[in-house]
């Protein structure tokens, strides 16, 4: 991001994700070049649920919201 001709921040932001089925919230730092699969993998790793049943369950609901980080 540019501000007054200077580079500000690295293009990352805080993404807050609430997993309703687990009643848990996580905040991760993400960048625009991350794809949703990478975000979901990072999320499941943070909960320690990398078994096949958990990651293939299409009924897991998430709510995501992000805040731009300006460093």
Which pLDDT does position 59 carry in this prediction?
55
Which pLDDT does position 53 carry in this prediction?
54
With CA atoms as reference, report the closest residue to 70 among 4, 25, 5, 14.
14
Tokens of 47: 């909960």
User: Pseudo-torsion of CA 41, 46, 49, 66, nearest 10°?
Assistant: -60
List Cβ neighbours of 56 (8 Å cut-off, separation of 6 or more). none
Which pLDDT does position 62 carry in this prediction?
57
Q: Residue 5 in 3-state DSSP?
A: coil
pTM: 0.56
Which pLDDT does position 71 carry in this prediction?
46
- Per-10-residue mean pLDDT, the chain, length 71: 60 85 86 85 79 53 56 46
């Amino acid at each position: 991001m540019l501000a007054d001709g200077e580079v500000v921040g690295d293009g990352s932001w805080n993404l807050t994700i609430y997993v309703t089925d687990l009643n848990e919230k996580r905040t991760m730092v993400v960048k625009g070049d991350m794809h949703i699969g990478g975000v979901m993998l990072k999320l499941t790793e943070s909960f320690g649920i990398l078994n096949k049943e958990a990651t293939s369950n299409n009924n897991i609901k998430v709510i995501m919201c992000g805040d731009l980080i300006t460093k």
